[in-house]
Structure 1
Amino acid sequence: MSTILKWAGNKSAVMLELAKHLPHGSRLVEPFAGSCAVMMETDYPEYLIADVNPDLINLYVQIQANTSAFLTHAKAMFTQGNNSQLRFNAIRQAFNQGTLKGGSFRAALFLFLNRHCYRGLCRYNQKGQFNVPYGNYKKPYFPEREILAFAEKAKRATFLCAGYQDTLKQLKTGDVVYCDPPYDDTFASYHTSGFNKADQQELANHLEGLASYFPVIASNSDTPYIREIYKGFEVNELTTKRCIGVCAGESKQANEVILTKTPMISFLGLDYARLPYYSAVSRVPQ
Structure 2
Amino acid sequence: MKQKQRAFLKWAGGKYKLVDTLRQYLPTGKRLVEPFVGAGSVFLNTDYDSYLLCDINQDLINLYEIVKHSPDAYIKASKALFVPEMNQKEAYYQNRLAFNASTDSFERSVLFLYLNRHGFNGLCRYNRKGGFNVPFGSYKKPYFPEAELRAFAVKAQRAEFKCISYQQAFSLAKSGDVIYCDPPYAPLSSTSSFTTYVGAGFSLDDQALLARFSRHTAIARSIPVVISNHDIALTRELYHGARMGKIQVQRNISQNGASRTKVDELIALYDETYHGEFDINDSKLPQVKA
Q: Report the TM-score when normalising by structure 2.
A: 0.89
Q: Choose the corresponding residue for 1:42, options 38, 46, 51.
A: 46
Whether the 8 Å CA contact 1:120–1:244 is kept in 2: the answer is no
Whether the 8 Å CA contact 1:30–1:179 is kept in 2: the answer is yes
Residue 180 of structure 2 aligns with an amino acid whose one-letter code is Y
Residue 240 of structure 1 corresponds to 249
Q: Choose the corresponding residue for 1:226, options 235, 240, 244.
A: 235
Is residue 223 of structure 2 the alignment partner of residue 214 of structure 1? Answer: yes
Q: Say how many residue pairs are matched.
A: 270
Distance 1:95 1:248 in 2: 28
Residue 94 of structure 2 corresponds to 90
Is residue 202 of structure 2 the alignment partner of residue 195 of structure 1? Answer: yes
Q: CA deviation at 1:282?
A: 3.1
Q: CA deviation at 1:72?
A: 1.3
Distance 2:249 2:167 in 1: 29
Residue 215 of structure 1 aligns with an amino acid whose one-letter code is P
Residue 156 of structure 1 corresponds to 158
Is residue 76 of structure 2 the alignment partner of residue 72 of structure 1? Answer: yes
Residue 179 of structure 1 corresponds to 181
Q: CA deviation at 1:154?
A: 0.3
Q: Which runs of 4+ in 1 moved over 3 A?
A: none
Deviation sequence 1:59-106 (CA, Å, 0-9, x none): 111100111111111011111111100000000001011332x22x22
Q: CA deviation at 1:193?
A: 1.9
Residue 107 of structure 1 aligns with an amino acid whose one-letter code is S
Distance 1:155 1:248 in 2: 39
Q: CA deviation at 1:263?
A: 2.3
Q: Choose the corresponding residue for 1:32, options 31, 36, 50.
A: 36
Distance 1:36 1:99 in 2: 25
Distance 2:97 2:249 in 1: 35
Q: CA deviation at 1:229?
A: 1.1
Distance 2:36 2:150 in 1: 22
Distance 2:44 2:186 in 1: 25
Is residue 60 of structure 2 the alignment partner of residue 51 of structure 1? Answer: no
Distance 1:41 1:169 in 2: 25
* Other structure's SS at 1:203 match: helix
Deviation sequence 1:201-240 (CA, Å, 0-9, x none): 1111111100111111000001111111111211111111
Q: Report the TM-score when normalising by structure 1.
A: 0.90
Whether the 8 Å CA contact 1:123–1:189 is kept in 2: the answer is yes
Distance 2:262 2:273 in 1: 35
**Cα RMSD for the two superposed structures:** 2.0
Distance 2:46 2:253 in 1: 22
Distance 1:23 1:96 in 2: 40
